[in-house]
Structure 1
Amino acid sequence: MKALHETSFLESLRIQNRVIGALMMREIITRYGRNNIGFLWLFVEPLMMTLLIVLMWKFFRADHVSTLNIVAFAITGYPMLMMWRNASNRAIGAVSSNAALLYHRNVRVLDTIFARMLLEVAGATVAQIAIMSALIAIQWIDRPADVFYMLLAWLLMALFAFGLGLVICSVAVQFEAFGKIWGTLTFVMMPLSGAFFFLHNLPSQVREYALWLPMMHGTEMFRAGYFGSSQITYENPWYLLLCDLVLLLLGLAMVRKFSKGVEPG
């Protein structure tokens, strides 16, 4: 009996992997087509945006106003911000764009949302690795102090992106107007991500309130891994993990609730 359950679970897992893979491939083809570089735009697009921000900080500001390597400062803040922002934005239209696929027995509402967010996280991850490797190679930035800590921070923020995307998608399905203004709201939230400053530079009273925001902990943690002891940071990985789990559980519950009323289009 136990072996039968294990076989059933493995088979379900294989089916789930095929469904997610097929949805991701469909999303890539729909979004980027088959011409030119095709799916590579998934990585090139965030790479170009990040490179543009880095060049702006490099040539217009920074090394003139601070002893801190401004390129390293930009590359350890902006890409992570764009990861959770893009993932939540893309999650909003996942259900309506894939409604026809819900006729298939193995395709669920959650699959369509997860596939879209996974693409955004994967694209941002590859772009981050590529641009950091290139900048290290041309000696614009130094090697990270603790790569493992940076990877852990990125993983925790990826979980945050998934949880946030599930919640935002669920709210947008119930209130269509919210889906239209969420993109604007994320611009307002950008300064609250910690991407453009160190928490250490804030007044202590302001810092106390800022630490309630999980995005702050992700950015501080990522920078702590890169800069090491040369910079003072205030991250709490356990708090970030707790926020991730709460968002994920809440998001899954919300998706499960509204999924019952979704009909194949």
Structure 2
Amino acid sequence: MTPNPQVSLPTSKPRTNRRFSSFRTIAALILREMATTNGRSPGGYAWAILEPVAGIALLTAIFSAGFRSPALGTNFPLFYATGMLPFLMFVDVSGKLATSLLFSKPLLAYPTVTFLDALIARFVVNMMTHLMVAYLLLTGILVIFDTRVVPNFSIVVQGFAFAGLLAIGVGTMNCFLFTRFPVWQRMWSILTRPLFIISGIFFLPEAVPQPYREFLLYNPLVHVTGLVRRGFYASYDAPYISELYVAGVGFGLLLMGLVFLRRYHRDLLNE
């Protein structure tokens, strides 16, 4: 009898090649994002630092004229920086992720470029930019001013990580909604305008009377800003913070966004 020919087993080389190709694609998209976001504008990445600096300086000038001290500590710039920086991170990163399909639509026509590559590239660039800005500004405030605080960096990092989680969750979900329902982009812009006021940048949730405080805590950004401030002010316990709630909102929206994008991204790109 003729022996059966040996059947060659599949190797992992194609999968390795796909992973390497995806890595190269993400790296190329990251370089493109860096060049188009701030690289071509006058001043470049200096604007990423000047914008929050100007905002914090304006808030400090306005509120220091009417109040002797901030709601926490003795330093106005530090108080507003601990609220504004995670807020700006969320708004900017989620906004950039929400337009990922629209921004990279010509490139997504190539089979080697996926919607996930576009999301990852935009998230990495903008998240790292905001972390760099937060580090520079907070370090500068601690060096220049007598803030009398000893930061707990593990809690501070946790707070910014939750801001990033919310950003990627909301941004991924809106990436589908903005592309599928263009009117939602304008509606979202209108609905989120009060976020700057109700996210705990200017005040502490403890100062809000009931029953409004309970409604305020449905905003996950209030928990994020409270967590960052807990890391800077040792005496601030912030018992209202719920890491589980923030994680649930972030992961839930991320999962739903990925499911919808995986199912409909080809249809959205062909519209």
The normalised TM-score by structure 1 is: 0.86
2-structure distance, mates of 1:145, 1:30? 35
1-structure distance, mates of 2:270, 2:30? 19
Contact 2:229/2:236 (<8 A) preserved: no
* Structure 2 residue 175 is matched with structure 1 residue 169: yes
1-structure distance, mates of 2:239, 2:77? 18
Shift in Å, 1:236: 1.4
CA RMSD of aligned residues (A): 2.6
* Partner SS state of residue 229, structure 1: coil
* Structure 2 residue 196 is matched with structure 1 residue 190: yes
1:32-83, Cα deviation, whole Å (9 max, x unpaired): 3458665xx1xx3231111112212333322751433221111001111111
Which range moves more in the overlay, 244-253 or 84-93?
A: 84-93
* Structure-1 residue corresponding to 2:49: 47
* Structure-2 residue corresponding to 1:100: 106
* Partner SS state of residue 259, structure 2: helix
2-structure distance, mates of 1:75, 1:233? 21
1-structure distance, mates of 2:166, 2:50? 24
2-structure distance, mates of 1:18, 1:63? 52
2-structure distance, mates of 1:66, 1:204? 26
Mapping 1:34-73, distance limit 5 Å:
38=44, 41=45, 44-62=46-64, 65-68=67-70, 69-73=75-79
More helix by share: 1
2-structure distance, mates of 1:231, 1:140? 22
> Structure 1's 124 and 260: CA in aligned 2 closer, same or farther, altered over 3 A?
same
> Structure 1's 16 and 35: CA in aligned 2 closer, same or farther, altered over 3 A?
same
Q: Identity of paired residues, percent? A: 21
Match of 1:208, as an amino acid?
E
2-structure distance, mates of 1:182, 1:147? 33
> Structure 1's 107 and 135: CA in aligned 2 closer, same or farther, altered over 3 A?
same
Shift in Å, 1:139: 2.0
* Structure-2 residue corresponding to 1:31: 37
Gaps of 5+ in 1: none
> Structure 1's 179 and 134: CA in aligned 2 closer, same or farther, altered over 3 A?
same
2-structure distance, mates of 1:228, 1:8? 53
Contact 1:71/1:141 (<8 A) preserved: no
2-structure distance, mates of 1:87, 1:181? 18
- Structure 1's consecutive aligned runs of 4 or more residues displaced over 4 angstroms after TM superposition are 7-13, 33-38, 230-233
* Structure-2 residue corresponding to 1:117: 123
* Structure-2 residue corresponding to 1:254: 260
Contact 2:60/2:80 (<8 A) preserved: no
Shift in Å, 1:233: 4.9
* Partner SS state of residue 125, structure 1: helix
User: Which of 223, 227, 234 does residue 233 from structure 2 map onto?
Assistant: 227
* Structure-2 residue corresponding to 1:145: 151
1:83-137, Cα deviation, whole Å (9 max, x unpaired): 1111222233321221221233321122223322332222111100001111111
2-structure distance, mates of 1:152, 1:10? 33
The normalised TM-score by structure 2 is: 0.84
User: Which of 79, 83, 88 does residue 82 from structure 1 map onto?
Assistant: 88
